[in-house]
Chain A
């Protein structure tokens, strides 16, 4: 049986100790599921192996969380909960470099991006929600004279969270922060592709002083570990971010088990609309980041760009220029790298296959389209033009650095094309006209619409999809209602003449 702490070496030569067991009840304990090797996608080599959770481990984690909720966490004062969340943020700040390095190593994203975006925004997310802890208000509601009614916004209890591999720490922060601030205990299953950084986080949660059982972090395969969690009768809610296909399974599990509350953040095929009166330089730069950020591995990636036919040539020229200048591929730990490898062989193959499909469907491969380098799952930033909105590469989520460009003549046409998707996660519109900006953003059926920018996040604005991109909101005050349930208490005041 392997020890919990293993030593790994970063490409920089620095050695790190990583946890590899399951984190349950404030202890690192062995798992009974299969050992899972986690691969460095830049080198295709094994970093180390981690323990995964079988059904007994999932039960242990859920029972620890449930016991803690009922006996301890429920009685902790809200301001104290906020203080602990802030303390956790402080510790993440202290160990920022290590957390970023683990994400860069395990996921393949550029170290500078992990440090300056992923970890920085995660810390901000915890600080934001810490401030809500002692501000969860019910209401008093007047009905008739001798009745006294008020609501309480109570915690749910045990929250199950299943997160993906594309932003290992940030996806965890988006779930943990509101869940903890509203008084819940959490059992989180990380992706078996990127388990390392959250095991470091687990150690920080213990150091911050969270009572045992509030934070539990396990990993394992979705169809086993994730499935056990989704079916567990003591879990009051599942918060899931991942593919639409898996989202459906989680919903099925809830219906078959205890009708646990659900929150699903699923896929997207978001359209960026470039109008004739757009500032094209800005649009090109923003749209480039909009699709190529995180190697295209964002649920909200602006993977369809709809350009007014009159500005297509100019926009394309500027878009390619922005891509060439910004999207530098390379070793995630090199200072100038912007785009690292795709997460895995599986994803790599899937993306290359879609590039093949795109060409077969009749779209024009304008740039890229191939593997980059000899080692690691690197794919060139890829641009298709002359796309039709009903092509598979315009309807199905590719989750890689591949964008499809189509043209439109009228704003109505652009809106119709943007909405012609089973998804509705995000959208963008580039224009200098107030009327167009408001009209298009009103009409696009998506949970986030960016105007003259893309992929910009704040902890205080909500994020979540329309249509089959999911339901429920993360971030902002809106997230609080996902993690609380409303009870109304209604007193009949007897003998009011007293």
Chain B
């Protein structure tokens, strides 16, 4: 039985936003086991409640996906898959305004970013991967007395568990490669930011995807996420989130059906600024590197290492630049930084700021809540830090950065590597040899030279060390979504 959960909310600016709060299974919005309240981080008030999935609903979604794969999607020609993905991308572009507002309402990120970056990236990513659908090649390999060839076959039902920091963009990064390689998907969104994906669900149906190919549910990680990670019919789980939960996903796979896993986890990425860097550029990029998305980026440059010679000058200019950060209502066009996503995150970040002070670091600027409504935190800078401090080792996931100095390249590389993470890094220098050799030495999945947080849908993204397993985006993403079969025909043995 389909129950209609159509909902309408009005934003502070008077915009009417409509979406459906049911679980999206088999192209219908259905009831969950219970409901979860969705909070507006700008003011702490309830936006609405959404249906949440527990075991029964997870099973229903997986069953729907498996049926769709077996009966329809596995027989759908690759170019038809591509057409549907293009159609969905077109619908996203046509509805960018409303979707962006939903994203800003739910997550708190500035409207300029939702509309100018997050949502357009989803359609670009879908179009990019749509282009790969009919280009998945195996090989023919010369062997003795045989015709041997490989096939790159879909896995079947893929689960994707995504976080709240880039709600719809993270969905795009998973759906793109999963669909173009011929898989079906059960996507579990964060219960903190479930709304934009529910809007996407309407467009998925409108685009003409067969029922069951893409299913979108939400629920608590410990319940819905866990059930999905353990489900015997799910062939693969792709997870983006904290390292702690990443371990649980790996454990769940090991205890269930050894499903393939990809993990995009946390980071504590070093941003290295040499004496000969263009200082103004370095300041601007360093700011973007840590304060973009309110510091809620796995790849944020949260440890800035500045070479001795320019340390004082850098700090002075960085303070000046950072003091101009526009923190405020995310629905204002020129807001750079909105609220943190939830009370829990807010408390956690404030707790780290307190810890930093207790550990003996200097709170160089910021450190306080902003205003008395919503989860706003001032851009915060610590100096006089030691590598062993918690604020230098643990991921804070907020607008908090630690700045320290270094002597020379060997010194800074040691310091940069003093972390269990390895997601990203950056080098600022004008010298080409230094740029390339340092980039080549750094243990990180992405190294930026003279820039930061430049993410493209066609270059691979993922972590070294405990920042994760596997790569998203670019051609490299595909290999996480297919399995290789070798066929060896006897022709003359």
Considering only CB atoms, which chain A residue lies closest to B458 in the complex? Answer: A134
Please judge, given known A-B contacts A127-B79, A128-B79, A137-B475, whether A493 and B436 are in contact too, CB under 8 Å. Answer: yes
Pairwise interchain contact A134-B128, C-beta atoms closer than 8 A: yes
* Minimum distance in angstroms from A478 CB to a CB of chain B: 10
* Minimum distance in angstroms from A204 CB to a CB of chain B: 18
Residues 385-442 of A contacting B (Cβ, < 8 Å):
434-435, 438-439, 442
Pairwise interchain contact A498-B437, C-beta atoms closer than 8 A: yes
Q: Any chain A CB within 8 A of the CB of B357? A: no
**Given the complex of chains A and B, what is the CA–CA distance between A442 and B492 in angstroms?**
12
Chain B neighbourhood of A442, CB < 8 A:
147, 491
Please judge, given known A-B contacts A438-B491, A498-B409, whether A131 and B82 are in contact too, CB under 8 Å. Answer: yes
Q: Any chain A CB within 8 A of the CB of B97? A: no
Chain B 126-142: CB-based contact to A (< 8 A → 1; otherwise 0): 01101111110100000
Query: Which of B147, B409, B475 gathers the greatest number of chain A CB atoms within 10 Å?
Result: B147
**Given the complex of chains A and B, what is the CA–CA distance between A409 and B491 in angstroms?**
22
Chain B neighbourhood of A112, CB < 8 A:
none
**Given the complex of chains A and B, what is the CA–CA distance between A128 and B79 in angstroms?**
8
Pairwise interchain contact A439-B491, C-beta atoms closer than 8 A: yes
Q: Any chain A CB within 8 A of the CB of B143? A: no
Please judge, given known A-B contacts A439-B491, A496-B437, A498-B437, whether A131 and B132 are in contact too, CB under 8 Å. Answer: yes
Pairwise interchain contact A86-B489, C-beta atoms closer than 8 A: no
Q: Any chain B CB within 8 A of the CB of A459? A: yes
**Given the complex of chains A and B, what is the CA–CA distance between A124 and B83 in angstroms?**
11
Residues 402-455 of B contacting A (Cβ, < 8 Å):
409, 431-434, 436-437, 440
Chain A neighbourhood of B137, CB < 8 A:
477
Pairwise interchain contact B431-A498, C-beta atoms closer than 8 A: yes
Q: Any chain B CB within 8 A of the CB of A130? A: yes
Chain B neighbourhood of A477, CB < 8 A:
135, 137
Give how many B residues have a beta carbon under 8 Å from the other chain's beta carbons: 27
Chain B neighbourhood of A496, CB < 8 A:
433, 437
Q: Any chain B CB within 8 A of the CB of A457? A: no
Q: Any chain B CB within 8 A of the CB of A30? A: no
* Minimum distance in angstroms from B445 CB to a CB of chain A: 15
- The A contact surface, by secondary structure, is helix
Q: Any chain B CB within 8 A of the CB of A148? A: yes
Pairwise interchain contact A435-B131, C-beta atoms closer than 8 A: no
Pairwise interchain contact A131-B130, C-beta atoms closer than 8 A: yes
Q: Any chain A CB within 8 A of the CB of B86? A: yes
- Tell me the number of A-to-B contacts counted with CB atoms below 8 Å: 67
Return the contact of B489 from the options A137, A438, A459 (Cβ within 8 A): A438
**Given the complex of chains A and B, what is the CA–CA distance between A83 and B93 in angstroms?**
13
Chain B neighbourhood of A127, CB < 8 A:
79, 82-83
* Minimum distance in angstroms from A496 CB to a CB of chain B: 5
Query: Which of A79, A82, A435 gathers the greatest number of chain B CB atoms within 10 Å?
Result: A79
* Minimum distance in angstroms from B283 CB to a CB of chain A: 23
Q: Any chain B CB within 8 A of the CB of A132? A: yes
Pairwise interchain contact B134-A130, C-beta atoms closer than 8 A: no
**Given the complex of chains A and B, what is the CA–CA distance between A133 and B458 in angstroms?**
12
Pairwise interchain contact A434-B82, C-beta atoms closer than 8 A: no
Chain A neighbourhood of B128, CB < 8 A:
79, 134-135
Q: Any chain A CB within 8 A of the CB of B124? A: yes
Pairwise interchain contact A459-B134, C-beta atoms closer than 8 A: yes
* Minimum distance in angstroms from A477 CB to a CB of chain B: 6
Chain B neighbourhood of A435, CB < 8 A:
491
**Given the complex of chains A and B, what is the CA–CA distance between A438 and B143 in angstroms?**
14
Q: Any chain B CB within 8 A of the CB of A494? A: yes
**Given the complex of chains A and B, what is the CA–CA distance between A439 and B82 in angstroms?**
35
Q: Any chain B CB within 8 A of the CB of A382? A: no
Considering only CB atoms, which chain A residue lies closest to B434 in the complex? Answer: A498
Residues 70-87 of A contacting B (Cβ, < 8 Å):
79, 82-83, 86
Pairwise interchain contact A124-B79, C-beta atoms closer than 8 A: yes
**Given the complex of chains A and B, what is the CA–CA distance between A135 and B473 in angstroms?**
12
**Given the complex of chains A and B, what is the CA–CA distance between A132 and B437 in angstroms?**
32
Pairwise interchain contact B134-A128, C-beta atoms closer than 8 A: yes
Please judge, given known A-B contacts A86-B86, A477-B137, whether A131 and B131 are in contact too, CB under 8 Å. Answer: yes
**Given the complex of chains A and B, what is the CA–CA distance between A477 and B130 in angstroms?**
16
Chain A neighbourhood of B83, CB < 8 A:
127
Return the contact of B124 from the options A79, A133, A438, A498 (Cβ within 8 A): A79
**Given the complex of chains A and B, what is the CA–CA distance between A15 and B12 in angstroms?**
57
Pairwise interchain contact A135-B431, C-beta atoms closer than 8 A: no
**Given the complex of chains A and B, what is the CA–CA distance between A234 and B431 in angstroms?**
37
**Given the complex of chains A and B, what is the CA–CA distance between A442 and B124 in angstroms?**
42
**Given the complex of chains A and B, what is the CA–CA distance between A493 and B429 in angstroms?**
15
Query: Which of B135, B409, B475 gathers the greatest number of chain A CB atoms within 10 Å?
Result: B135
* Minimum distance in angstroms from A423 CB to a CB of chain B: 24
**Given the complex of chains A and B, what is the CA–CA distance between A148 and B433 in angstroms?**
10
**Given the complex of chains A and B, what is the CA–CA distance between A459 and B458 in angstroms?**
23
* Minimum distance in angstroms from A148 CB to a CB of chain B: 5
Residues 454-493 of B contacting A (Cβ, < 8 Å):
458, 475, 489, 491
Interface residues of A (CB under 8 A from B): 79, 82-83, 86, 124, 127-128, 130-135, 137, 148, 434-435, 438-439, 442, 459-460, 477, 491, 493-496, 498
**11 further interface pairs, Cβ-Cβ under 8 Å (given A124-B79, A132-B131, A148-B440):** A130-B131, A131-B131, A131-B135, A134-B128, A134-B131, A135-B128, A135-B132, A137-B475, A435-B491, A438-B489, A498-B409
A sample of 21 inter-chain contacts (CB < 8 A) reads A79-B124, A82-B127, A83-B127, A128-B135, A130-B131, A131-B82, A131-B130, A131-B133, A133-B131, A134-B131, A134-B458, A135-B131, A135-B132, A135-B475, A137-B475, A435-B491, A439-B491, A460-B134, A493-B433, A494-B433, A498-B409
